Chains A and B, each alone.
Chain A
């Protein structure tokens, strides 16, 4: 019986590395703009929208792409059955500062819609949803530190209550200037418990801290 909620895959991006289910799949010791560009090229996808994204959206987008490349969403799920529940500490601070710079000087005032739209953390949910046509439950929470117990409870209840059949959830955080970044995404769905990893506080924490 598929009644247990499991982690059917995960992806971690931090410190110039991308790991999927603990396997190192990409590494490049450059700063985030170069690193993200190279990681995207590695995917070999003709998706020009990537280059318009801000750093936070690029980070989340790449984390979802690498996760789903190794563990695609079950094609039996319809768009509204796939949810996205993400969180971080810094909201959209990197792009907030960029937008603030465009209005700080009255003599050099040039606010831009293509920057301003990224001054919301949930835009990364929108970018991933557009790419994969995910239309289910979505929300963006802010925590000073990752709260695996909250995410475990909340996402479990969405899946147990059949609000969604699969959910990409996790942490996507980027400091001002993208000097520090970390994304940890988990794919949660109902599954077989035999060898699978249970979607619970302990396992979320373990993967996050690896």
Chain B
């Protein structure tokens, strides 16, 4: 049974539609900018923010005050993706999956506490609001699995269709930047003082970003663009079983995900045209990935990280980067790794340094996160 991708939307620092985002990506534009000290952090730092003014304008609802910033982004994104897919959301064979790490955690702030009902800080409270907005008959499924959440949600959605539990699955991945998240990454000393440089010899940390991205999966074949149809051809997850905050020293956990994703797609490493990797630009993550890619024998496969364009968007990262890679395939364009110039990782890998036209059929998308979790999903032209 094949699982097709029938719709998508991206709301990020690079725009409010997938097309706007892709134009910026193909033109090498970054959404990461230096922010002054203020609400998000006592120190200035670079990050990729969604334009709040445009969000408010676009969220053309009669009562926008009853929705948090993340809820507004999610509703807008889901609406656009579902419209593109031409999908009936109220159908009982349609499931919504929400992927997020911290949801409405901003509601823990003293100033915001009383502005929304207390249950909204819980992820099921967030899901309920989204579900009520769209009048869904099925409660959304929520996945909160650190930085692999968005990619894992795609794999879980594909499995639920394959198991014939649903015909269509909408996956919305979203996280916003809050003092909660920024202070945490600062305490880990994992933020770069410059826009991040994935796999580069001079990389010194990640850049945070916020985004919401929605992808629609379906058992019914439907072209996404110009008669091109894309399927989810395989996927897997795994654990390093090594350290809760440090990536594996060997890359064996991520390698397991890659190996099992290839097996589930009945593919060999040689059939993959490019890897869209996690590439956070922390010294350890990128080294770990280079080891995993070598364990898989894929050191010569072109590999990119999209973090230099949109930052690390946490629970949205897997969803947004999958959509960007899929649109790379639809345009037959291999996207360069913005911020990268000189290779500086533990094992040799083939990092893309310019955006160019290429024959692309199969993409391997990977992600890794705190808790030692890894996921891999393969997208293919049908």
A interface, CB within 8 angstroms of B: 79-80, 84, 89-91, 93, 96-97, 99-100, 102-104, 106, 109, 111-113, 116-117, 119-123, 125-127, 129-130, 132-144, 150, 153-154, 157, 163
By a CB distance below 8 angstroms, the chain B residues around A93 are 121-122
> Given A103-B180, A111-B187, A136 and B124 touching (CB < 8 A)?
no
Known: A104-B110, A144-B124. A119 touches B241 (CB 8 A): no
In the bound complex, residues from chain A placing their C-beta under 8 Å from that of B156 are 139, 154
B179 located at the interface, meaning its Cβ lies under 8 Å from any Cβ of chain A in the complex: yes
Binds A, one of B63-71, B144-152, B323-331, B338-346: B144-152
Chain B residues near A122: list those with CB within 8 A. 144-146, 369-371, 373
Q: Are B108 and A100 in contact (CB under 8 A)?
A: yes
Distance between B368 CB and nearest chain A CB, rounded to angstroms: 12
Interface of B, secondary structure class, is mixed
Q: Which of A93, A139, A141 has most chain B Cβ within 10 Å?
A: A139
The reply on B133 being an interface residue by CB < 8 A is: no
Residues of chain A within 8 A (CB-CB) of B186 are 111
Residues of B within 8 A of A80 (CB): 238, 256, 260
Q: Shortest distance in angstroms between B88's beta carbon and chain A's nearest beta carbon?
A: 22
Contact assessment for A135 and B371 in the assembled complex, using a CB-CB cutoff below 8 Å: no
Interface size class of B (residues with CB under 8 A): 35 or more
Chain A residues with CB below 8 A from B238, complex form: 80, 135-138
Interface 1/0 per residue, B172-187 and A, CB below 8 Å: 0000000110011111
Partner among A96, A136, A138 whose Cβ is within 8 Å of the Cβ of B145:
A138
CB of B256 within 8 A of CB of A135, answer: yes
Whether a CB of chain A sits under 8 angstroms from the CB of B355 is no
B120 touches A (CB below 8 Å):
no
Q: How far is the CA of A99 from the CA of B371 in the complex (A)?
A: 18
Q: Which residues of A contact B42 (CB under 8 A)?
A: 106, 109
12 new A-B contacts, CB < 8 A, other than A93-B122, A112-B187, are A89-B122, A93-B121, A96-B180, A111-B183, A113-B245, A120-B145, A123-B370, A140-B144, A144-B139, A154-B159, A157-B159, A163-B236
Pick the residue among A79, A100, A116, A154 that contacts B241 (CB under 8 A): A79
Closest CB of chain A to B164's CB: distance in Å? 10
Q: Is the pair A141, B142 in contact by a Cβ cutoff of 8 Å?
A: yes
Question: For the complex, is B354 an interface residue (Cβ under 8 Å from A)?
Answer: no
Please tell me which one of the listed residues A104, A113, A126 contacts residue B371 in the complex, with CB atoms under 8 A apart: A126
**CA of A36 to CA of B165, assembled, Å:** 39
Which residue of B110, B123, B240 is within 8 Å of A135 (Cβ)?
B240
> Are A135 and B253 touching (Cβ within 8 A)?
yes
Q: In the complex the two chains form, is A130's CB within 8 Å of B241's CB?
A: yes
Tell me which of A96, A104, A111 has the highest count of chain B C-beta atoms within 10 A of its own C-beta: A111
